[in-house]
């Protein structure tokens, strides 16, 4: 039994490992850097960073990982297991990072901040995309021409020029569009209903997003920002039109 906290185990080796959580002792040292660990298994996982070795393999698909925890996380893609549960709603996730991202919807917390302009966001990946407006980096490259983009969705939109793909489909008539904004405009041909009403003028619309866009005319807010150049727009449709100056699409 541990004299510090009362932890009990049948094995002396387990007790010895446990005691290091109190003493801070880390006897297992890496011979290639200054890393040290309390457990041999942690050291072995660390060494894989130096060797590139991936000893843990998925029996379902052959996926290999450097860490056992990464393999365990991968296995949930086969089992569908989602052990991480939100205590505010019925959302559950296969890994903790996905749950952490979800939780900010409840807290409103935006922990990631741009050191250049103070922009804040809920996710690290969103901050990385934002930073490209300052650096000018365009890591997404078209494999059919010399076009490059700061964001993947911009590249995907550009590549439809080469493929002719139109993935957005109207459920009413089967009309197909290359981008979401074109489909949204088309959908208005099917209904004359306008349930979304502006409380500052007599404007009404069939789509909630159009009302939000319209209301920015009253507030002066420009919430839509181009990931390529930092251009800001009051309406999503204006941003989509602007984005075509980067993708080369025609209006």
Domains of the chain: 12-51 (3.30.160.60), 56-107 (3.30.160.60), 118-251 (3.30.160.60)
CB 133, CB 225: distance < 8 Å: yes
d(CA 111, CA 104): 9
More confident residue, 204 or 49: 204
Q: CB within 8 A of 169, min separation 6: which ones?
A: 175, 176, 177, 183
Angle made by CA atoms 70, 75, 81, in degrees to the nearest 5: 115
d(CA 207, CA 149): 30
Q: pLDDT band at residue 179, thresholds of 50, 70 and 90?
A: confident
Q: How many CB atoms lie within 10 A of CB 73?
A: 15
Angle made by CA atoms 208, 211, 217, in degrees to the nearest 5: 155
Q: What is the mean pLDDT of the chain?
A: 85
d(CA 54, CA 47): 10
d(CA 178, CA 193): 25
| pLDDT at site 22 | 81
DSSP 96-159: HHHHHHHHHHHH----EE-TTT--EES-HHHHHHHHHHHH----EE-SSSS-EESSHHHHHHHH
d(CA 57, CA 66): 9
Q: pLDDT band at residue 250, thresholds of 50, 70 and 90?
A: low
> Per-residue pLDDT for 47 more than 90?
no
Q: For the chain, how many residues are written?
A: 251
d(CA 214, CA 247): 26
Residues 87-121 pLDDT 10s: 989 999 988 888 888 888 888 888 889 998 988 88
Task: For residue 177, give the 3-state DSSP assignment.
Answer: strand
Task: For residue 173, give the 3-state DSSP assignment.
Answer: coil
pTM for the full predicted model? 0.38
CB 234, CB 213: distance < 8 Å: yes
| pLDDT at site 251 | 53
DSSP 3-34: TTT----S-HHHHHHHHHHHH----EE-SSSS
């Amino acid at each position: 039994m541990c004299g510090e906290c009362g932890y009990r185990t049948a094995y002396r080796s387990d007790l010895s490992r446990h005691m290091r959580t109190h003493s801070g002792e880390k006897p297992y040292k890496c011979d290639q850097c200054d890393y040290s660990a309390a457990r041999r298994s942690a050291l072995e996982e660390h060494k894989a960073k130096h060797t590139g070795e991936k000893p843990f393999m998925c029996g379902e698909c052959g996926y290999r990982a450097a860490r056992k925890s990464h393999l365990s996380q991968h296995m949930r893609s086969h089992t569908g297991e989602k052990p991480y549960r939100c205590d505010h709603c019925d959302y559950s996730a296969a890994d903790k990072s996905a749950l952490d991202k979800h939780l900010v919807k409840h807290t409103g917390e935006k922990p990631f901040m741009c050191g250049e302009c103070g922009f804040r966001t809920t996710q690290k990946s969103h901050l990385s995309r934002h930073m490209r407006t300052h650096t000018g980096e365009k890591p997404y490259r078209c494999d059919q021409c010399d076009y490059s983009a700061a964001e993947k969705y911009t590249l995907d939109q550009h590549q439809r020029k080469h493929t002719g793909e139109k993935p957005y489909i109207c459920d009413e008539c089967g009309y197909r569009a290359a981008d979401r904004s074109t489909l949204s405009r088309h959908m208005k041909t099917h209904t004359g209903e306008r349930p979304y009403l502006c409380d500052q003028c007599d404007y009404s619309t069939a789509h909630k997003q159009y009302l939000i866009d319209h209301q920015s005319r009253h507030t002066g807010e420009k919430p839509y920002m181009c990931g390529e150049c930092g251009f800001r727009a009051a309406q999503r449709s204006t941003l989509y039109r602007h984005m075509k100056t980067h993708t080369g699409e025609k209006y």
